[in-house]
Amino acid sequence: MKEKINLTINGRSVTADRGMNVLEASLRNNIYIPHLCFHAELQPAGACRLCMVEIDGQRTTIACKTPVEEGMTVRTESPEISETRKVALELLVADHDTDCLNCVQNTKCALQRVADHVGMNLKRLRRLKFREELLPIDDSNPFFTFNPNRCVLCGICVRTCSEIQGAEAIDFTNRGSEAMVAGFGAKPRIESNCESCGECIVRCPVGALVETDYERPTHQARTVCSFCGCGCGLFLGVRDNRIVSAKGDINSRASQGRLCVKGRFGFRFVNHPERLTSPLIKRDGEFVEASWDEALDLVAEKFSGYKGNQFATIASAKCTNEDNYLTQKFTRAIMGTNNIDHCARL
């Protein structure tokens, strides 16, 4: 069991685990501190400067990089903190595409929540020099698009690619007002070593990274990915009886919420109009629909006539280890042959 730390936040006594930072301790106790660059699965970066707090005996500091200490007294609001956050927020909004209604993150955007908490003043905003023209959108990747005009340079996608995926396909490029996230040499994402895992998309706090042709699901179904035998857990988003999204199940012991490109984006074949939904049996040279019982009886009848070395099996990497074990057992014990191979043996 982790050692508990007692501290006071905004006059309220709270507890936190040793090793937590002040921002984590506040959020765990339902005390909101504005932030954009923090993510619980990543190392704190302190890039957005929005999580400023006052701590007795210390100078004003950022909560995400300040570890909790026994007896610490924290204030998350003050006139000085409010002014600091407003300046930081205004500089972000000055370079931000504010067409929120056309953004898939609308109502779920971390920047909207920050703006709602900190407050915006149009008179103050008019003093700033806004971006005169929008930057080009990178839609080179077939699975997602990157809109630099909605990026807040929080670095979560960069750290995700490095710390979690280990691909290091993207990083910050250029400086000042020209700074942006891109692949090496500021090339399109498709020309980088991006693995299209989509881990950066699920962690993006705004609408800078979105799935291509994204549709918001009406409900979700918990299941297991069928693309290999790893057993990654996922939630399939459903809308109008169609699968429209997939996201990792953080409670899955096999994958802990992470998915590969197939698990996250490979579900579209389910909705394809030419996908077979019932068995086909050839009659008089033509394939016709049949029931599953009829199809399985026909397979059993055909198999019985080809026992021994006339029979061979190719197992699949989409099956679980248990299913592949049964496949080889069926081939050897029932069909009487060792003619079995697997697509992943190389």
173-188 pLDDT, tens digit per residue, is 988 878 899 998 888 8
- Report the C-alpha gap between 189 and 147 in whole angstroms: 12
Tokens of 216: 């918001």
Dihedral of the alpha carbons of 116, 102, 125, 84, in degrees to the nearest 10: 40
Q: What is the pLDDT of residue 166?
A: 94
DSSP string, 185-239: GG--GGGTT-----HHHHH-SSSSEEETT----SEEEEEE--SSTT--EEEEEEE
Q: What is the pLDDT of residue 345?
A: 63
Cα of 118 vs its chain's centroid, Å? 27
Q: For residue range 34-69, what is the model confidence (pLDDT) as tens digits?
A: 999 999 999 999 999 999 999 999 889 999 999 999
Structurally, at CATH architecture level, domain 96-109+122-214 sits in 2-Layer Sandwich (3.30)
Mapped onto helix, strand or coil, the DSSP state of residue 148 is helix
**What burial class does residue 11 get, using C-beta atoms within 10 Å of its C-beta: 0-12 exposed, 13-18 middle, 19+ buried?**
exposed
Domain 218-275: top CATH class: mainly beta
For tokens 């042709």, name the residue: 213
Tokens of 336: 């009487």
The dihedral sign for the CA sequence 178, 179, 185, 189: negative
Domain topology for 4-77: Ubiquitin-like (UB roll) (3.10.20)
Q: Which residues of the chain have pLDDT under 70?
A: 345-346
User: Domain ranges in the chain?
Assistant: 4-77, 96-109+122-214, 218-275, 277-304, 306-346
Contact between residue 94 and residue 57 where contact means Cβ atoms under 8 Å apart:
no
